[in-house]
């Protein structure tokens, strides 16, 4: 316990050095982070200085209605990446999947971290919160909502990781049986940094952490609470297949000539044009590729309600409902109505014609 | 060689054939920065990723700057190349990840990039390590390539 | 309502509503017009109604010399924006997908930059037509609220489409949703305004030609 305390009192720079990370590596990390977050390179020395002298931050990670895919995404980098540097240097005081403790000991660790770092710890949440019935999802007998509100109170910053925590995600999908909501819908008094994606890109989390540790503030967010540095461009705008879209060259099926030639996947339902994320630039699996590069349209997983977007393989411009059916029914009904109205008009005309009486000279003399 | 292949340079985000015509303005910026280095001894760093460039244009800039006298390689979290261009005072710094993909690239206008200096923070550790080595009285073997007295 | 929910609505319920109003409105109006009928003409026909009618549908595409000289601006810009609208609506790949989804029919598209350029030309010609309308005192006198309404609902899909394509000022889902909404407004307004000329133009041209044909004179 004493050792752990000492560890927490160390600065990030000291921890990194004790792990054998040279300062040059650290400078390289700072330069790459600045570049990724679109921070002016003039600020790199400032970032380095601030991060080096930052105290090891305490992080409490709460998992609610989720699939642990977000944690997998963040912990499965195969190589020593720059993002793993930051992960290694935080003090992850509570995380269901990763912590050794269980049961009461685990909850005690969370309570201790909250007490010792009141107002200073970072709260990371993945998963949505069920409001339908508190019993739908509980941890140690505490409902997700209660645990979130209790832990959020003393948090310095709150990061919602993954689409479930940011917009409700799969649990929120129609018909939303648990009444799942996002963090934003229950936390009103603090800004929530949204890092959507199913799962999100690991480097975004590091970027947010680095930004927080450097500037003591949260990064510039867009209207959906996402860091602009990573969610500032649509997949479509950064897609290497974009020139094919512009030329009108599309894959019509998954195995036609166009698909083999790597043409645009718009017609196969790609949601790239309406999806804001960094996949096309940072890529996945240690920079190997991203879904479109692998030949599959973007599902739009970092946008709200992507499960209910009318089908993953339906082109974005297509209506989501069966309009042909509507059109046929409407046309049939309208034809009948038109004939009925036409007949009424004719009857009216005939009646007018029949009741028409000629004006005679005697009428005029009256 | 500097990796400018757009397929492997992952942060080289411009994949368009359309030229952005940013090459000349960027070189002018480098020129002004060099002047600033002479007059005020100010270092300037330009993040190449922050400027929209077609893939051919980045090659173009690197070709124009060319390679000068210094070519250093760092081995930290994947390789990094620090090259002084043929214009003294203009450095090109490219950081790669362990998979040799570019993670960032800067043009630095300075007498010596910070990252090349031995870092003060690392020196106490190296002193400690060397002290340990010496105090352990290791038998010193003459190496095959170098004679030691 | 988030912009994605908005997009979901215009692609779903909104599209349904607009389709119902558009199709019902157009069909009822056309059926009513056709069923109005005409009094039987008891005179001896001077020629074929049908042939003259069909010929007139085509021949009225080409303005006669004096008409052209009198209002060349209206005719030229009218042609430009009608052809432009046709290209924008029917030859842009994402739009073709809408028709494919509804009718099952598909046809080749034009490259996106071409459609983009045509959109700009069409917007400019629509703008200049309104300007012309207010500079010419006769046209100005004849202009009523419906003319302005029809002009706006025709222009809006072009402008919102252009903005959505270039993502000006906001993010894509909201802009695309606005574009689809503007088209739905056009569809809803369509049957109740002179936009009906899209269909009635052929009826009326045929009828004009048929009258002349019956009388045995050139139309």
How does residue A6 score in pLDDT terms, banded at 50, 70 and 90?
A: very low
Nearest-CA neighbor of A198 among A336, A100, A303, A121? A303
Distance (Å, rounded) from C-alpha B27 to C-alpha B53? Answer: 13
Rounded to a whole number of angstroms, the distance from the CA of A251 to the nearest CA of chain C is 12
B114 interaction partners in chain A (CB closer than 8 Å):
27, 45
Find the closest chain A residue to C7 by CA distance.
Answer: A309
CA distances from A303 to A31, A271, A273, A307, C15 (A): 29, 10, 11, 10, 22
A199 CB-near residues (< 8 Å, 6+ apart): A69, A70, A72, A73, A74, A162
Domain with CATH 3.40.50.700 in chain A: 57-231
Per the prediction, chain A carries an average pLDDT of: 86
* Residue A127 tokens, joined: 């998963």
Summarize the confidence of residues A192-204 as an average pLDDT.
Answer: 89
Q: Which residue has the higher pLDDT, C139 or C159?
A: C159
Q: What is the pLDDT of residues A11-39, one digit of tens each?
A: 878 877 887 788 888 888 888 888 877 77
Whether residue A237 lies within 8 A of chain B, CB to CB, comes out as no
Interface partners of chain C (CB pairs < 8 Å, 3 or more) are A
Specify whether the CB–CB gap between A149 and A186 falls below 8 A: yes
Find the closest chain A residue to B51 by CA distance.
Answer: A38
* A to C CB pairs, distance under 8 Å: 137
Q: How far, rounded to the nearest angstrom, does the alpha carbon of residue A173 sit from its chain's CA centroid?
A: 14
Q: What is the pLDDT of residues C57-90, one digit of tens each?
A: 998 888 889 989 988 999 999 999 999 999 999 9
Find the closest chain B residue to A246 by CA distance.
Answer: B16
CA quadruple C185, C189, C195, C196: dihedral sign: positive
* Residue A338 tokens, joined: 């038109």
Q: Which residue has the higher pLDDT, B141 or C132?
A: C132
Rounded to a whole number of angstroms, the distance between the first and last alpha carbons of chain A is 119
CB-based touch A/B (3+ pairs, under 8 A): yes
B104 interaction partners in chain A (CB closer than 8 Å):
31-32, 34-36
How are the residues of chain B apportioned to helix, strand and coil, as percentages rounded to the nearest 5?
35, 20, 45
Q: Do C31 and A222 touch (CB under 8 A)?
A: no
Per the prediction, chain C carries an average pLDDT of: 92
- For residue B5, the model assigns a pLDDT of 40
Nearest-CA neighbor of A182 among A65, A310, A299? A65
* Residue A4 tokens, joined: 């752990």
Distance (Å, rounded) from C-alpha C62 to C-alpha C64? Answer: 6
Cα angle C191-C196-C200, degrees, rounded to a multiple of 5: 135
C171 interaction partners in chain A (CB closer than 8 Å):
222-223, 234, 276
- For residue A362, the model assigns a pLDDT of 81
- Check pLDDT > 60 for residue A336: yes
- Check pLDDT > 80 for residue A327: yes
- For residue C160, the model assigns a pLDDT of 96
User: What dotted CATH number matches B23-135?
Assistant: 3.30.1370.140
Whether residue B128 lies within 8 A of chain A, CB to CB, comes out as no
How are the residues of chain A apportioned to helix, strand and coil, as percentages rounded to the nearest 5?
50, 15, 35
pLDDT tens string, chain B, 149 residues long: the values are 333 443 333 333 334 445 667 788 889 999 999 999 999 999 999 988 777 676 678 888 889 999 999 999 998 888 999 999 999 999 999 998 877 878 889 999 999 999 999 998 889 889 998 999 888 866 666 655 554 44
Rounded to a whole number of angstroms, the distance from the CA of B149 to the nearest CA of chain A is 32
Whether residue A19 lies within 8 A of chain B, CB to CB, comes out as no
Provide the H-helix boundaries in A19-98.
Answer: 23-36, 44-53, 69-75, 82-89
Summarize the confidence of residues C20-37 as an average pLDDT.
Answer: 93
A326 interaction partners in chain C (CB closer than 8 Å):
16, 19-20
Q: Do C93 and A250 touch (CB under 8 A)?
A: yes
Rounded to a whole number of angstroms, the distance from the CA of A2 to the nearest CA of chain B is 24
What's domain C3-32+46-215's architecture?
A: Up-down Bundle (1.20)
Specify whether the CB–CB gap between A240 and A203 falls below 8 A: no
Q: Residue ranges per domain, chain B?
A: 23-135
In DSSP terms, which residues pair with A250 in a beta bridge?
A: A264
Nearest-CA neighbor of A51 among A214, A207, A208, A219? A214
Interface partners of chain B (CB pairs < 8 Å, 3 or more) are A
- For residue A28, the model assigns a pLDDT of 87
Distance (Å, rounded) from C-alpha A234 to C-alpha C176? Answer: 13
Whether residue B142 lies within 8 A of chain A, CB to CB, comes out as no
User: What dotted CATH number matches A57-231?
Assistant: 3.40.50.700
- For residue A83, the model assigns a pLDDT of 61
Task: Find the CB nearest A23 among B44, B46, B119.
Answer: B119
A344 CB-near residues (< 8 Å, 6+ apart): none
* Best to test chain A binding among B33, B104, B128 (most A CBs inside 10 Å): B104
Q: For domain A235-308, give the CATH superfamily.
A: Cytochrome-c3 hydrogenase, C-terminal domain (4.10.480.10)
Summarize the confidence of residues C107-132 as an average pLDDT.
Answer: 94
- For residue A1, the model assigns a pLDDT of 34
- For residue A91, the model assigns a pLDDT of 82
Q: What is the pLDDT of residues A146-182, one digit of tens each?
A: 999 999 999 998 999 999 999 999 999 999 999 999 9
How does residue A340 score in pLDDT terms, banded at 50, 70 and 90?
A: very high
**3-state secondary structure string across A237-302:** HHCCCHHHHHHCCECCCCCCHHHHCCCECHHHCCCHHHCECCHHHHCECCCCECHHHHCCCCCCCC
Specify whether the CB–CB gap between A323 and C19 falls below 8 A: yes
- Check pLDDT > 60 for residue A252: yes
Burial label, C173 (beta-carbon count in 10 A; 0-12, 13-18, 19+): buried
* Best to test chain C binding among A239, A326, A341 (most C CBs inside 10 Å): A326
DSSP secondary-structure letter at C169?
Answer: S
Q: What is the pLDDT of residues A277-319, one digit of tens each?
A: 988 877 887 667 899 999 999 999 999 989 988 889 999 999 9
Lowest mean per-residue pLDDT among A66-70, A197-201, B33-37, B48-52: B48-52
User: Tell me, what's the ipTM?
Assistant: 0.83
Tell the residue number behind the tokens 């109006």, with chain if given.
Answer: C29
Helices and strands in chain A: count of H runs, count of E runs: 19, 9
* Residue B59 tokens, joined: 């090659």
How does residue A85 score in pLDDT terms, banded at 50, 70 and 90?
A: low
What is the CB-side half-sphere exposure of residue A140 using CA atoms within 13 A? 16
């Amino acid at each position: 316990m004493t050792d752990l305390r000492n560890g927490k009192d160390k600065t990030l720079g000291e921890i990194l050095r004790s792990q054998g990370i040279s300062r040059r590596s650290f400078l390289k990390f700072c330069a790459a982070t600045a570049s990724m977050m679109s921070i002016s390179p003039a600020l790199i020395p400032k970032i380095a200085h601030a991060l080096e002298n930052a105290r090891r931050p305490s992080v409490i990670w709460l998992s609610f209605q989720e699939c642990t895919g977000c944690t997998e995404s963040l912990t499965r980098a195969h190589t020593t990446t720059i993002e793993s540097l930051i992960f290694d240097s935080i003090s992850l005081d509570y995380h269901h999947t990763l912590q050794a403790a269980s049961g009461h000991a685990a909850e005690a660790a969370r309570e201790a971290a909250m007490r010792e770092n009141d107002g200073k710890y970072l709260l990371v949440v993945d998963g949505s919160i069920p409001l339908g019935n508190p019993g739908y999802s509980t941890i140690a007998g505490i409902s997700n909502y209660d645990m979130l509100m209790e832990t959020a109170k003393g948090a310095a910053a709150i990061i919602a990781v993954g689409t479930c925590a940011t917009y409700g995600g799969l649990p929120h999908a129609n018909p939303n049986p648990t009444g799942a909501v996002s963090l934003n819908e229950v936390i009103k008094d603090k800004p929530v940094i949204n890092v959507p994606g199913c799962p999100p890109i690991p480097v975004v989390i590091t970027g947010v952490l680095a930004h927080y540790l450097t500037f003591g503030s949260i990064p510039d967010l867009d209207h959906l609470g996402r860091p602009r540095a990573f969610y500032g461009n649509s997949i479509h705008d950064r897609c290497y297949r974009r020139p094919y879209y512009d030329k009108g060259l599309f894959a019509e099926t998954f195995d036609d000539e166009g698909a083999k030639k790597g043409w645009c996947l718009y017609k196969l339902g790609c949601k790239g044009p309406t999806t804001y994320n960094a996949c096309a630039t940072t890529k996945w699996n240690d920079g190997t590729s991203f879904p479109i590069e692998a030949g599959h349209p973007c599902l739009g997983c970092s946008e709200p309600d992507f499960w209910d977007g009318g089908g993953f393989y339906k082109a974005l411009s297509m209506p989501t409902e069966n309009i042909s059916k509507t059109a046929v029914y409407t046309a049939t009904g309208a034809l009948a109505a038109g004939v009925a109205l036409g007949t009424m008009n004719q009857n009216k005309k005939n009646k007018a014609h029949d009741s028409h009486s000629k004006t005679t000279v005697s009428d005029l003399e009256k | 060689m500097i990796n400018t292949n757009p397929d492997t340079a992952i942060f080289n985000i411009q994949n368009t054939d359309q030229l952005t015509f940013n090459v000349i303005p960027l070189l002018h910026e480098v020129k002004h920065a060099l002047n600033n280095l002479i007059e005020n001894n100010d270092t300037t760093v330009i993040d190449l990723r922050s400027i929209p460039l077609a893939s051919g244009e980045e090659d173009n800039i690197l070709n124009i700057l060319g390679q000068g006298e210094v070519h250093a390689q760092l081995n930290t979290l994947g390789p990094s190349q620090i090259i002084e261009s043929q214009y003294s005072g203009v450095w090109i710094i490219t950081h790669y990840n362990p998979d040799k993909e570019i993670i960032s690239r800067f043009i630095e206008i300075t007498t010596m990039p910070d990252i090349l200096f031995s870092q003060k923070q690392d020196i106490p550790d190296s002193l400690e390590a060397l002290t340990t080595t010496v105090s352990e009285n290791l038998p010193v073997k003459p190496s095959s390539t170098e004679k030691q007295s | 309502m988030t912009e994605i929910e908005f997009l979901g609505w215009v692609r779903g319920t909104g599209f349904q509503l607009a389709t119902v109003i558009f199709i019902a409105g157009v069909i009822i109006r056309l059926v009513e017009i056709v069923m109005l009928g005409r009094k039987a003409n008891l005179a001896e026909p001077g020629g074929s109604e049908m042939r003259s009618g069909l010929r007139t549908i085509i021949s009225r595409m080409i303005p006669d010399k004096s008409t052209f000289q009198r209002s060349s601006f209206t005719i030229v810009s009218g042609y430009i924006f009608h052809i432009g609208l046709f290209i924008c609506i029917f030859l842009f790949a994402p739009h073709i997908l809408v028709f494919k989804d509804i009718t099952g029919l598909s046809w080749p598209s034009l490259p996106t930059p071409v459609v983009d350029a045509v959109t700009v030309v069409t917007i400019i010609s629509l703008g200049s037509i309104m300007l012309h309308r207010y500079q010419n005192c006769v046209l100005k006198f004849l202009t009523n609220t419906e003319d302005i309404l029809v002009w706006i609902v025709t222009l809006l899909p072009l402008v919102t489409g252009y903005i959505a394509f270039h993502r000006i000022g906001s993010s894509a889902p909201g802009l695309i949703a606005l574009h689809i909404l503007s088209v739905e407004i056009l569809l809803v307004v369509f049957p109740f305004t002179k936009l009906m000329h899209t269909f009635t133009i052929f009826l009326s041209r045929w009828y004009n030609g048929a009258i002349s044909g019956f009388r045995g004179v050139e139309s």
